[in-house]
Each structure stands twice: as C-alpha cells, then as structure tokens.
Amino acid sequence: MTGLSPIIVPAGTPDPDPPRDRIADRVHMARAIRLAAQGLYTTEPNPRVGCVIVKDGVVVGEGWHRRAGGPHAEPIALAAAGDAARGATAYVSLEPCCHHGRTPPCTDALLAAGVARVVVAMTDPNPLVAGSGLDRLRAGGVAVDQGLLEAEARRLNPGFIKRMERGLPYVRVKLAASLDGRTAMASGESQWITAAAARRDVQYLRARSSAILTGVGTLLADDPSLNVRLSPTDLPGLGLDEAVRQPLRVVVDSRLRTPPTSRLLGLPGQTLIACLDPEADGLSSDNPETHLTAGPHLTPFPTASRDREPDQPISRELDRNGGPHARLEAMRERALRLEAAGAGILPVPPGPRGLDLETLLRYLARMEINEVLIEAGATLAGSALQAGLVDELVLYLAPHLMGDGGLGLFHLPGLERMGDRLALHVQDLRKIGPDLRITAVWGPCVLPPSGSPG
C-alpha cells in the first residue's frame, strides 16, 4: 500500500483461549474495516465505513460507502443480503446514523430488514449521532455490541473524528530531505531531492487529503501544481469512468503576493488564498463565515471598488500619501485580480507569527475539510509545529548529502536545551524505491540518564 500508514487488522493480544464466536466477530469486523478502506480516496467529507452481514456463520452481504450523497455501507450490504438479513448480525466499522442527511437513517434500514444483532467498532463522533444510533437500535429490540477493533476503525478516519471532536482537521506535514536534513541547496535548488517512487507515493497522500496547504514562499520559488496526478486505475475504489477528486489548494499568503498567473490557478479544482485581514475585526474562530459571499468565491473587502469598470484601475482611488487607506486599497486590487483568476480569498486575523493558523484550520474544518496535507517550507512547517497544530509528520529521506549551507526542514526558534525537544513516535518506517519514508506522530521523548553515552 502506498501513500498511507498501514491499517493493521486485527491488533492487540488475543485471549489465551478465545470463544469461537469472539474470533468470528473479530474476523468479520476486520473485513468491515478493510471494506471501509476502499473509500479512502472517495468519501470526503464523509467518514469511510464498511459493513458485513453474517447469518449462521456465512457472509450474506457486504458493502462500503463510496461517496457523499450516495448510499451508506449498511443499505448496500442489506440489499446484497436480501431476505437473509432477517435474524442476521451486522458488523459496521462506525455507528449507524439515525438522522436524515443526504440519505435516510441507516438505523431505520437495519430495523426494517430485521437484523437481530449489530456490532460496531466505534460510536460516531458526529453530535447528530453520538450514541443515538445505538440507542435507536436497542429500543427496536436489536442486540448491540460496541468497541470491537475500535483503534483500527479510528485510524481509518482521523480527520473526520478530529473535526467532529475538536473542530479541527487532521494535519499532516510532508517533507523531503537529504540524509543531512536539507530540503534545498544553498542556491535554493530543490528539484529533485527524492526519486520518482517517493514522488509518486506523495500523490497518494494528496489523493486522500481534503486540502493541501502551502506558503507563498514555496509558491513563488517553485510554482507548484499541488494537484493529484494519478488516474482512476491507480486509486482503489474509483471506477474507470470516475474523475479523481482534487483537494482544495490553500495558500498562506499574508500580503496577497500570489501571481494571478500561478500554475495552480489554471488547474482543475479550487484554490483558496488566506491573507492577513487588513481590518482584523471581521473574522474570528467563532464566526468564520463573516466574509462569505453567495458565490463560489470569498471576499475579504466589502468595497465600492467592485462596481468600477473593469478597465478602471483602483490605483486612481488610492490615498496619495501612501497611508493605511492606500495599503488597504492595494490589497483590494490584488484580491480582485486573484479572484478574476479563479481564487477564493479568505482574510485571517494575525497570530504570533503571521496569520493565525489555528483560525485558518478551524475555518477549513467548517468547510468539512477532514485531512490537511502541509507541503511547505521551513517557516510555515515550523510555525504549524510550534503552534501544536500538526498531528503527523511524513518525512522522505534521500540517500545523499547536500551540505551545511542547504535549507533545513523546520524553522523552530527557541529550542535551546534537550528538554525543549519536540518529541515524536515513529509509527511506520519503510523504503520507497531508494528513499526512506518515516511516518511519526507525537510521542514521549525520553532523555538518557545523566552520564550515559549518546
């Protein structure tokens, strides 16, 4: 499997002599989770869910959720099972929904089919469900068990879970470096550090992400595409005639320096440019919709300048003294040009280092963005790390050295003592072609005893 941490099913230490039915439960739930993984690249913004229907020890139906607005896993599995679903057991990787959304409640479908028992890996963190689905099933006379292979099920939907529980997307930082930790030569040259296999692997990380976030420095230096360049045949769960979903591209650009001719603005998919709010009073984490307009774009500046003739330069309206009014109007000018090129513009209040990244991420969560992939330089990556906004690091190490004059991985001011280190736990380590891929999450950092070598 490329581009993602492995889903390990089943996990944990088995009972010394587990009952036969418990073994069967684990086998069928493991199958449900594997089915759910088929939606890794397709279900956004919904969670990935799988379902298996079993009667008298035989699988009579199974299904997985493919796309938002399409049928959920449970109705698909029930349809496959037909009359055999009556009196059967349903294994579902996520609690069945009990509310009307894009589709009818799955609890109603299970009750109507006469399912006798439902086993779920985890409750749904969505406040609209949050245990109510299981209560509805119990009230209908269905036996319910929960918590089987919960860790594996949670690992499948980290973004959906974090967005529901904390109002933030799950954030990965992807970086590529030489063995001496350099991301570019002293001259700034950086293409290519890793081999083709690692660069292709990154495409799978992009494909599972809801948004890709970069900084204006990276954009100006590299003019990246930040798109998914895989075909439907490369991605499990996609049909030959289905389009590959392009993640939202987000550029952190405090002063709107992004050129309207940037490559990413001419590609399929949407681009959002986050800038500093020049008035710093219209957007907060509690009210990020303040600057939304009715159209597909965002507007940071309510201004009569939008009513001017297309060929009338805003510069004629600027304050001749070059004061705050002139700077505000210059931002309006750049915003209008970028919007004309197809970008959405989002003003964000200032934070300790540039614009407030947490406010930006909370806004993305309200856009139903589950997983964000940061592909940026040392400054933005370091700011996100030090703000505690990063959940996972994916680091590709290439087997060469680039010298101490090259650019580093992170800009992390203030780390002066061993006790200041940012502690990580390596979750996965594997070779991708000639390069090494390290996946790490936050974990304990144990200092060696005083006087110990190393």
Is 1 a member of any domain? no
How much is the pLDDT for 325?
Answer: 63
Rounded to an integer, the average pLDDT of 14-41 is 84
Buried (b) or exposed (e) across 73-89, using 16+ Cβ within 10 A?
bbbbbbebbeebbeebb
Query: Distance between CA 358 and CA 140 in Å, rounded?
Result: 43
Q: Assess whether 262 and 354 both reside in one domain.
A: yes
Spatial contact of 109 and 117, defined as CB atoms under 8 Å apart? no
Residue type at 92? V
Q: In terms of C-beta distances under 8 Å and separation of at least 24 residues, what long-range contacts does 157-162 make, across chains too? A: 157/47, 157/48, 157/94, 157/370, 158/371, 158/391, 159/210, 159/369, 159/370, 159/371, 159/372, 160/45, 160/46, 160/47, 160/125, 160/370, 161/47, 161/125, 162/370, 162/391
Number of domains in the chain: 2
Tokens of 7: 């889903």
Q: Is 4 left (phi over 0), alpha (psi -120 to 50) or beta?
A: beta
How much is the pLDDT for 181?
Answer: 86
Q: Assess whether 251 and 205 both reside in one domain.
A: yes
Spatial contact of 39 and 9, defined as CB atoms under 8 Å apart? no
Q: Assess whether 411 and 337 both reside in one domain.
A: yes
How much is the pLDDT for 279?
Answer: 67
Q: Assess whether 322 and 204 both reside in one domain.
A: yes
Using DSSP's 3-state secondary structure scheme, residue 397 falls into strand
Q: Assess whether 65 and 186 both reside in one domain.
A: no
Query: Distance between CA 380 and CA 374 in Å, rounded?
Result: 9
Spatial contact of 423 and 445, defined as CB atoms under 8 Å apart? yes
Helix-then-strand count for the chain, H and E: 11, 16
Average pLDDT in the chain: 83
Say which residue, 229 or 450, is predicted with more confidence.
229
Confidence check: pLDDT of 331 > 50: yes
Active site members: 74
Say which residue, 453 or 49, is predicted with more confidence.
49
Confidence check: pLDDT of 38 > 80: yes
Using DSSP's 3-state secondary structure scheme, residue 205 falls into helix
Q: Assess whether 149 and 220 both reside in one domain.
A: no
Q: Assess whether 261 and 410 both reside in one domain.
A: yes
pLDDT band, very low/low/confident/very high, at 280 (cuts 50, 70, 90): low
Confidence check: pLDDT of 324 > 80: no
How much is the pLDDT for 372?
Answer: 98
Using DSSP's 3-state secondary structure scheme, residue 12 falls into coil
pLDDT band, very low/low/confident/very high, at 285 (cuts 50, 70, 90): very low
Percent pLDDT > 90 in the chain is: 61
Q: Which of 156, 175, 197 is the last residue of a domain?
A: 156
Is 448 a member of any domain? no
Spatial contact of 106 and 63, defined as CB atoms under 8 Å apart? no
Q: In terms of C-beta distances under 8 Å and separation of at least 24 residues, what long-range contacts does 188-197 make, across chains too? A: 188/221, 188/407, 190/221, 190/222, 190/407, 191/222, 193/396, 193/398, 193/402, 194/396, 194/398, 194/433, 194/435, 195/398, 195/433, 195/434, 195/435, 196/433, 197/432, 197/433, 197/434, 197/435
DSSP letters spanning 242-301? SPPPPPEEEEE-TT----TT-GGGGSSS-EEEEEE-SSS-S--TT-GGGGB-SSSSB-S-
Q: Give how far the C-alpha of residue 347 lies from the chain's centroid of Cα atoms, to the nearest Å.
A: 21
Q: Using omega within 30 degrees of 0 as the cis cutoff, is the peptide bond preceding 278 cis?
A: no
Q: Using omega within 30 degrees of 0 as the cis cutoff, is the peptide bond preceding 158 cis?
A: no
Q: Using omega within 30 degrees of 0 as the cis cutoff, is the peptide bond preceding 192 cis?
A: yes
Confidence check: pLDDT of 446 > 70: no
pLDDT band, very low/low/confident/very high, at 18 (cuts 50, 70, 90): low
Compute the 3-state secondary structure of the chain and give helix, strand, coil in percent, each to the nearest 5: 30, 20, 50
Is 7 a member of any domain? no
Q: Assess whether 256 and 393 both reside in one domain.
A: yes
* Rg (the chain; Cα; Å): 25
Residue 198 phi, psi (nearest 5): -70, -40
User: Exposed, middle or buried by CB within 10 Å (0-12, 13-18, 19+), for 182?
Assistant: buried
CATH number of the domain that residue 432 is part of: 3.40.430.10
Confidence check: pLDDT of 451 > 50: no
Q: Which of 156, 176, 195 is the last residue of a domain?
A: 156
How much is the pLDDT for 237?
Answer: 85
CATH number of the domain that residue 50 is part of: 3.40.140.10
Q: Assess whether 168 and 78 both reside in one domain.
A: no
pLDDT band, very low/low/confident/very high, at 376 (cuts 50, 70, 90): very high
Instruction: Provide the domain limits for residue 437.
Output: 161-442
Summarised one tens digit per residue, pLDDT across range 215-266 is 999 999 889 999 999 999 999 888 888 889 999 999 999 999 999 999 999 9
Q: Assess whether 330 and 220 both reside in one domain.
A: yes
Is the torsion defined by CA of 230, 157, 148, 130 positive or negative? negative
Report if pTM > 0.85.
no
Choose among 436, 387, 391: nearest CA to 413: 387
How much is the pLDDT for 196?
Answer: 95
Is 454 a member of any domain? no
Confidence check: pLDDT of 7 > 80: no
How much is the pLDDT for 326?
Answer: 66
Give residues with Cβ within 8 angstroms of 245, minimum separation 6.
41, 42, 44, 207, 228
Rounded to an integer, the average pLDDT of 366-384 is 94
Q: Which of 116, 138, 156 is the last residue of a domain?
A: 156
Spatial contact of 207 and 228, defined as CB atoms under 8 Å apart? yes
Spatial contact of 425 and 440, defined as CB atoms under 8 Å apart? yes
Q: For residue 92, list its beta bridge partners.
A: 51, 120
Say which residue, 323 or 354, is predicted with more confidence.
354
Summarised one tens digit per residue, pLDDT across range 152-188 is 999 999 999 999 999 999 999 999 999 888 888 878 7
Spatial contact of 357 and 390, defined as CB atoms under 8 Å apart? no
Q: Assess whether 132 and 270 both reside in one domain.
A: no
Residue type at 374? I
